[in-house]
A = this chain, B = another copy of it.
């Protein structure tokens, strides 16, 4: 059926992929051979038709049924030719979620679209649903064959570029909080969707607030079943974590653990490399980074060999002490100069940026406190606390700003 044989040897597969690329891709000019310039949608369409966009998926769903090892061979071949477009089964969160949790009809309708063009953003967090993500108050109300959406989302990146948002909305206020949520593929380009960038303390504005007022989503864009969105969402999140896990190996391979670390250079530049107190702190900081790399290596090995995820959970927590700790040392190294900022003062600007950005790790994607809960409960098996919002109608859950119905 396809030109790529799942029974072929890795080398044969590599040759097949390279040969396909050589007939479709101009690796020197980084464009499809049939096109004067690179057009993303056009190229993705070609890759998709060849089954190479999502090679691990079955052939009836746009893929080739390849193993994870075979997918790596394909990725390497693409990399050899500087060609983009494969591995969407690992990176395209929106498509993966629809593939894993969507109905066959939705998959048929939307996967070709998602895999070739649109960017998807995540509409999860809300001002009152941060650590407690399932506490969302954005409401979806049925109106004929569509749902009307009202509410506010926050911490959404790529919102302006996105064609679709993976939206969590509450559809049943009388069910307990996890059981009244529905997951939608929400069209972003419509009236009633207002996007406001968030001014972050780093000076960046990578995230946005999204105000949704009487916007609509067709019922057929529901991912999974009504009120079962939390389960579908977990599927999405599991993939996100896997991607982060794979990110870890990537980082490990790229991190030049044998060359001189920037913090040491800064100590030298600020003439403090001979200060014994600084030396102890530097050593400890470098050590935290090195043991985290070592932990990540063990985590990958354990995941591969024993399927154990327990070490995986440590890296995010460890990164907090690494990032906050390194920024603190750099601040002390700079001394008065740390007051400065801006392009004329790059050491100070970098240090202040890093000091602020460290909160992205210790707060974003689950605070350190939430992360410690997860380690204690999921890995160490310590018992959960009492959950006052468990098993009661969401509209009865205390929110600090009145009952749920006002949200």
Contact = CB atoms under 8 A, between A and B. Distances in A.
Contacts of A388: 386
Interface stretch (A175-183, A275-283, A346-354): A275-283
How often does this chain occur in the complex, in copies?
2
Contacts of A386: 385-386, 388
> Which of A275, A277, A280 has the largest count of B CB atoms less than 10 A from its CB?
A277
A237 to B, nearest CB: 27
Interface in A200-232: none
A385 B385 CA distance: 10
A106 B300 CA distance: 71
A370 to B, nearest CB: 17
A23 to B, nearest CB: 65
Interface string A262-280: 0000000000000111001
A360 B277 CA distance: 32
A181 to B, nearest CB: 24
Contacts of A275: 276
Contacts of A277: 276-277, 280
A398 B386 CA distance: 14
A369 B227 CA distance: 41
Contacts of A385: 385-386
Interface in A353-407: 385-386, 388
Contacts of A276: 275-277
A275 B277 CA distance: 9
A386 B277 CA distance: 45
Nearest to A388: B386
A277 B280 CA distance: 8
A276 B277 CA distance: 6
Nearest to A276: B276
A125 to B, nearest CB: 24
A370 B276 CA distance: 38
Interface in A60-101: none
Interface in A237-286: 275-277, 280
Interface of A: 275-277, 280, 385-386, 388
9 contacts: A275-B276, A276-B276, A276-B277, A277-B277, A277-B280, A385-B385, A385-B386, A386-B386, A386-B388
